[in-house]
A and B are shown apart, each in its own frame.
Chain A
């Protein structure tokens, strides 16, 4: 049976339909797809957002005092925390003048009922790989900067991203958390003792990591093969027919256009997504700079 979500007050505008919450709740559980379609028909979403509107983004920098750099990001309800730990290591034989960055995305059972305890699932592994690709493609950190002594000693940055609350759009939140945490990272000074040839770490004297690029992602979902929505929530993600994540940097170069399958996308729609991603990049970069300045002012 098909029915339209229509209130007794004869209003088709779901935003004015709050007089009938139980009816809406029933439709949402029984016919989730119809429920969302009725909102999209009116060019809005069930949480009152417009189609191309992001949820409120909140950023907290330096939340973990024991890490070398950290950040907490909230995108609506989605919460991701990133901690960066720097360790000394030997550079690889293939790249003696470079350090390396190891990102890891963790989706614990705490964040959503869809994740089970145990080894990381496909989504967590795919997200880790995506973040690693973004770091490499965007050159956010030049790995040469992490080299201390060519061929002998370098920094390895372990970037652990943990999702605390999963409500869709994990990748965007992860990229913001990673970028903010990298900008917050301060590495201790290392000198190499000439007599013993062993490294000496001076924890008092720290220098900031040079962040070359500012990649920021924007995620989209395609509903019913045609309607494009931005910053999907978990419910919308599970109902839509395709996902797309576009990552751009401040020079409007694309670092990733990640669309893992799903229904096809026309060239115009793709262009629309890229334009939106570029605006998003500017918004987020402004937000990060604002938060960093306020942290510095407080110190």
Chain B
């Protein structure tokens, strides 16, 4: 388990553990403050005929909440995570096969979607699937006084006027996915994107360090 302290753009302490499950082809748990998501990837495996795509792999994302059954909110988050993964994975290398990504929420203390995205990316890396770039998720909240809070807790989310989650790619640091709540001005949106981009560098540095540390042990 590695933990990264935060400075500059304030993210909560975050950490990750890879390959912690034995059955999936890749797994990771990602922790941001008290928010924690466990991800597992199966595949490339055989695909159901009804879901088969002739020129690329079918990616399925399942999001399991901590209590109860997945609802409409989880469905829309699944869609966001799936389409982000589809953009970064080289799915055409595995035509007519299936990839399944399961995200189990262990604890939700705000910024759940960004934590899920980070866990998903780490799990895909652990599974060794070919990707064109990495991605990470950053959540920004704008409070009633107009200040931008990155990686908010559940309490901060509740008090905020607007909430935005972005997925940023590692190649050009551009926005892959955006999901927003509340109303905001164009200027605030641009500011939040800029803040997320600088925060993403920190997360990508963490990705790089953790992979380096992991492979320096095995080699």
Contacts and interface: CB of A to CB of B under 8 A. Distances in A.
Interface of A: 122, 125-126, 128-130, 132-133, 136-139, 241-242, 244, 249, 252-267, 270-271, 274
A126, A244, A259, A267 pick with most chain B CB within 10 angstroms: A259
A264 B174 contact: yes
A149 to B, nearest CB: 27
B175 A254 contact: no
Contact of B174 (A256, A258, A266): A266
Contacts of A252: 185-186
B183 A261 contact: no
B87 A242 contact: yes
B75 A129 contact: yes
Interface string B48-76: 00000000000000000000000011011
A261 B169 contact: no
15 contacts: A122-B78, A125-B75, A126-B75, A137-B182, A139-B183, A241-B87, A254-B185, A254-B189, A257-B164, A258-B179, A260-B83, A261-B85, A261-B177, A264-B175, A267-B193
Given A242-B83, A260-B80, A262-B86, 13 more contacts: A122-B79, A126-B75, A129-B75, A138-B183, A241-B87, A249-B183, A254-B184, A256-B180, A258-B179, A260-B83, A260-B84, A260-B177, A262-B83
B73 to A, nearest CB: 6
Given A125-B76, A129-B76, A264-B169, A258 B183 contact: no
Query: In the complex, which range does the number of interface residues on chain B fall in?
Result: 35 or more
Contacts of A258: 178-180
B106 interface: no
B83, B164, B193 pick with most chain A CB within 10 angstroms: B83
A271 B186 contact: yes
Interface string B156-192: 0000001010010100101111111111111001100
B107 interface: no
B82 interface: yes
Contacts of A262: 83-84, 86-87, 176-177
A264 B193 CA distance: 13
Contacts of B179: 258-260
B180 A261 contact: no
Contacts of A255: 183
